Structure 1
Amino acid sequence: MGLPRPPVFLQKILILLHVTMCVVVGKTMMILFPNAMKRYILKQGEKSRMNKNPKFSYENWGPTFFSFKYLLFVLKVKWKRLEDEAFEGHPAPNTPVVTFNGEVRHLFDFIQDNRPLILNFGSYFSSVADFLIIYIEEAHAEDGWAFKNNIVIKNHRSLEDRKIASQFLQKNNPLCPVVLDTMENLSSSKYAALPERLYLLQGGKVTYKGGVGPWNYHPQEIRAILEKLK
């Protein structure tokens, strides 16, 4: 048996100290060695293909790293991961979500027989699996850790705000259902999904748990799994 985990409040304090130290060091490095830090951040951006978007240059997002709002966002993400209840091989949390007509449903409602269900916390229908996009809270809201030249969306204060914000996604005509996380952010919390993440559920269990985006968000891993199911 492993050692018992410390109480949540103690874990939060340790996370606060660690993140604060990292931000202070990162900010100092950006001041003292701006070119080296730019190369490092761009290297990280390659993992999420952020660098490939011609309308989204480094100047729009790179300088926002290690700011106070960056600190608050990273703390929120890491603290929320303490609520993670989705583990590979274990029962999947059947969290509530809200449809665009206001109907409250649950994730398992979207599972058909024993077909795999891919949760994207963004995808398309496949001949062997179904997809569901769960629209969660904003990662880079205008009144939070914002990037320049980005879509202007404020933090959601109500479910209606979340519904309106999700219309930017709907304009791209995703070929699968889109639902909204509750304002309690239950799906995001129990699946540790902020800012983005991929899951595969089958038979009521988590059979694949992707890494946390943007750096470790790899849709090709889901593709490889589905190829084996054909």
Structure 2
Amino acid sequence: MLHSPGVHTLQLLTQAAACILLFPRFLLTAVMLWLLDFLCIRKKMLTMPTAEEVAGASEEPPPDDPPVCVSDSNRMFTLESLKAVWHGQKLDFFKSAHVGSLAPNPEVIQLDGQKRLRILDFVSGKRSFQRLASHFVDIADFLLVYIEEAHPSDGWVSSDAAYNIPKHQCLQDRLRAAELMREGAPDCPLAVDTMDNASSAAYGAYFERLYIIQEEKVMYQGGRGPEGYKISELRTWLDQYKTSLQSPSTVVIQV
């Protein structure tokens, strides 16, 4: 396949422009990570719950958006953390998913490692997504897509990570890791991103992200996790949508 020199030059210029636009945000994030390595600052911004708070919270339903907590043993400002932040910000910049636009439909892989589907193939079927889905099971289908690890054991390591998972070197590595995710959410439909990270790139999903797709269009786009991952916003959108369906002023016409 022949590639035009002009196309190659345009790609280089696009990458260079992206670097220039992203650098201020990246620099700000890097400074924040550096400051968070000072425990006095971390304790004010990212406080781990005490045993008493955990015990008290166990008597109430968990909040949709628990606070972001980081243990004192975790280093925030490292080469691996900066690489992860830059990678996530570039994916966000170049993503093709935007509110009001057609939803990207990249290929995903089922956990048997054999069957390949596309994200929008999950629009109908069994509806479940833990506590949130049980409330909206009548109006929405839910899907979890497992993507590349945000904190692999051989990358930006986090002692708060629930599992010790290295970077995925092949599809089988990713499928095995996804099985651990299914154990934590056994009733949720789960698919796995391809090894070229097509879904993560299309939706700017790294580290984690929430979307609502309706009639193949992106209707809601959450912020980038962890700080922008707001289940409460998702609940509010679905609540409002459910109310609109029940409103007497809502008329559905079939022609």
How far apart are the structure 2 equivalents of 1:21 and 1:200?
29
Equivalent position to 2:68, from 27, 32, 50: 50
Q: Does the aligned pair in 2 maintain the 1:210–1:218 contact within 8 Å?
A: yes
TM value normalised by structure 2: 0.72
**Is structure 2 residue 100 aligned with structure 1 residue 82?**
no
**Aligned residue in 1 for 2:199:** 187
Deviation at 1:173, TM superposition (A): 3.5
Equivalent position to 1:11, from 14, 18, 21: 18
Equivalent position to 1:226, from 227, 238, 249: 238
Aligned residues: CA RMSD = 2.9
Name segments (4+ residues, structure 1) moved above 6 Å: none
Alignment map for 1:5-154 (pairs within 5 Å): 7-12=14-19, 15-16=22-23, 19-20=26-27, 23=30, 27=34, 29=35, 34-42=39-47, 49-51=67-69, 58-61=71-74, 64-101=75-112, 102-112=114-124, 124=133, 126-150=137-161, 151-154=163-166
Deviation at 1:137, TM superposition (A): 0.3
| Greater Rg over alpha carbons, structure | 2
**Aligned residue in 2 for 1:54:** none
With over 3 angstroms needed to count, the CA separation of the structure-2 counterparts of 1:130 and 1:195, relative to structure 1, is: same
**Aligned residue in 1 for 2:59:** none
How far apart are the structure 1 equivalents of 2:14 and 2:139?
42
Residue identity (%)? 30
The residue type paired with residue 17 of structure 2 is L
SS at match of 2:207: coil
Aligned length: 208
Q: Does the aligned pair in 2 maintain the 1:96–1:106 contact within 8 Å?
A: yes
Deviations 1:62-117 (A, max 9, x none): xx21122111111111122232111111100011100112211111111139xxx9
Deviation at 1:37, TM superposition (A): 4.6
Gapped regions of structure 1 (runs ≥ 5): 1-5, 52-56
The residue type paired with residue 144 of structure 1 is G
TM value normalised by structure 1: 0.79
Deviation at 1:25, TM superposition (A): 7.4
**Aligned residue in 2 for 1:3:** none
Greater relative contact order (CA < 8 Å, ≥ 6 in sequence): 1
The residue type paired with residue 8 of structure 1 is Q
With over 3 angstroms needed to count, the CA separation of the structure-2 counterparts of 1:200 and 1:35, relative to structure 1, is: same
How far apart are the structure 2 equivalents of 1:130 and 1:229?
14
With over 3 angstroms needed to count, the CA separation of the structure-2 counterparts of 1:82 and 1:228, relative to structure 1, is: closer
The residue type paired with residue 141 of structure 1 is P
Deviation at 1:182, TM superposition (A): 0.5
Q: Does the aligned pair in 2 maintain the 1:60–1:149 contact within 8 Å?
A: no
Alignment map for 1:144-183 (pairs within 5 Å): 144-150=155-161, 151-183=163-195
With over 3 angstroms needed to count, the CA separation of the structure-2 counterparts of 1:106 and 1:17, relative to structure 1, is: same
